[in-house]
Amino acid sequence: MSNISSMSRESKKRQLRRQIVPSSPGPAGPGGRRDEEDSHEVVQKAHRKVVQRRLKILLVFLIMAAIGTAVVYQFSQYHQYEGYQVSWEKSLTSQTEGQTDSSFCGYEAFGGGILRYTRDGMSFLDYRGNTIWNQSYEMKSPIVSVNGNYAVVADRQGTGIYICNPDGCQGQAASLLPIMGATVSAGGVAAVMEGDSSASYVFMYRNDGSQLQISIKSLLENDGYPIDISLSPSGNQLAASFLYLEQGLLKCKIVFYNFGVGQSRADRVVGIIFPEDLSNALVARIRFLDEDHVAAFSDQGVFFISTRVETEPTPGEPALLEEEIRSICYSPEYVGVVTNTTEGEDPYRLLVYRSSGRTEVDQTFDFPYTDFRIDGDTIFLYNDDSCQIYNMKGTLKFSGTFDFTISGILKGRIPGNFLVLGPQSLREIRLN
């Protein structure tokens, strides 16, 4: 009896165990495949959730970064500063040997620093106002041309020529005829325009002051009167503007010389442009903005020329202006013009063009400026004690008056900082 009861209990236990713990078929059975598929699907779902979560986090981060970038851009482009503070001030009186305040002429940015020039000499300064070197001379009317790391300083209607770079004065020369103009390449080759009553000459000088065996002669009776010259950064190309007489009328032409591909031609002329729209205009200034773009400034507008093909200078669309031109400036990327307005409340109009000729800024203003310049993507209008700063959107970023004299203004090394240049001092200001 006890055996039967014992067997009955064991049978019930096995039955209960089977109900609680399902049997485990072999891996080849249909139940095993289903469990594997279920497990794989669970892993895939978990992986998808992780990927989706990471994508959501990345998307949120990108949206926040885009919003932050947009806010910074809007602030940088459209925020107007109301004041300034002077970060430091440096007196130049003790550093500029022999250069008096009365002989001061101006400043030019070049070679990662600042060239200060007077009738008594020139100095090269760093962006902290420290004098790197001095060079003395005597000139009645110094003219300066800058190209990259080289500058030439010459005495208009005199004979003195100085070629320098950030390391100092590299060469000196003296012309035989009165100097009419000078230009320099980024490699230090200088072209000096000299002339008398019957002819003009362009003589070339190495950066050490020695004369190259290259010269260009223009007879006033046949070729016309040269107004201005400009060397390309490489020094291979030279552009010159001329006035000439035709049937009793004064006309304008722009002549291109080439010292590389033009060597096979006796006069080295590779192209002459007779601007129809500017035929009776005076092209008083011509500049290579870079190796491929030339800007010719006349009293009727700006003429843009492409020299991408050195043997075929190609005129572009001119920027003709009906309003009287007051001032011009230029940089490797931009050309600036200020005109008098003929309508509206503001008396002046600011126009900035890309080197290609495309209009970048067209803005009227009423600030009583005396000079202006472009440094990078910033436009400065200033007079003796005040200035206005615009960006290339035409937005007025700052307008203020200083308690010191201004001879020029440049961008500083840090965004929002500017160098204010005076006759005998430098200051760095920060806008706020």
- pLDDT over 60 (residue 40): yes
Q: What is the pLDDT of residues 73-82, one digit of tens each?
A: 766 677 889 9
Q: What is the pLDDT of residues 393-409, one digit of tens each?
A: 999 999 999 999 999 99
Q: What is the pLDDT of residues 217-269, one digit of tens each?
A: 999 888 999 999 999 999 999 999 999 988 888 889 999 999 987 677 778 89
User: Is residue 74 included in any domain, yes or no?
Assistant: yes
User: Is residue 63 included in any domain, yes or no?
Assistant: yes
The pLDDT of residue 228? 97
User: Is residue 56 included in any domain, yes or no?
Assistant: yes
- pLDDT over 60 (residue 19): no
Q: Domain limits at 57? A: 42-79
End-to-end CA distance of the chain: 106
- pLDDT over 70 (residue 117): yes
User: Is residue 19 included in any domain, yes or no?
Assistant: no
User: Is residue 113 included in any domain, yes or no?
Assistant: no
Residue 93: both structure tokens together = 């009186």
As for how many domains the chain has, the answer is 1
User: Is residue 366 included in any domain, yes or no?
Assistant: no
Average pLDDT of the chain, as a whole number: 88
Half-sphere exposure of 271 (CA within 13 A, CB side): 21
Question: Cα torsion for 94, 145, 335, 110, to the nearest 10°?
Answer: -50
Span 292-299, mean pLDDT? 95
Q: Is 192 exposed, middle or buried (0-12, 13-18, 19+ CB in 10 A)?
A: buried
pTM of the model: 0.82
Q: What is the pLDDT of residues 352-364, one digit of tens each?
A: 999 999 999 999 9
